[in-house]
Amino acid sequence: FDKALALMDKFEQAGKDYLFIIASQIDPYGPYWERIMRNPRYVYANANIYTDSLIRGCDYLVSLSSCESWGYSIREALANGVAVIGSKGVPEIERVVKDGMNGYLIDRNLTDVDSAMIDKIFDDKPIFLHWIESAKACNDGEKWEQLFRRGEL
């Protein structure tokens, strides 16, 4: 969680308003969790009760992993009309997240996250509109696997 928390620090320094929902199967303990629980901008949600409605309420899913085997949460977010902020250099993330189309690829160490990138992340309305339309297609019965195979996810 250290990378995600560092990204949120950058958002705060840029004066951006956000709510960071952490969905995890890991019990909340340790220094990261202590920090999360003290900050009203962070919300913990047990992943065992993770629902599509929780995902649909987000602007972005943040996945700053150093590796991904299948990227299920990323695909689930995209299928629900939610763009992804993911790690560059992770093949499974790069295979699914198309930078500037359905999310953003950033350096996992945040070296490329400056104020211009933060403004882009917060102010890029076309990316939201594109994925809202994809979510409508999924909700109208078109399976997200079909969108993925066509290259739209």
137: pLDDT strictly greater than 60: no
Q: How many helices (H) and strands (E) does the chain have?
A: 8, 5
86: pLDDT strictly greater than 80: yes
> CA–CA separation, 27 vs 20, rounded Å?
17
- The three-class DSSP label of residue 134 is helix
Q: What is the DSSP letter of 107?
A: -
Contact predicate 55/61, CB 8 Å: yes
- Residue-wise pLDDT tens digits, 40-54: 777 777 666 656 677
Q: Mean pLDDT over residues 75-101, rounded? A: 86
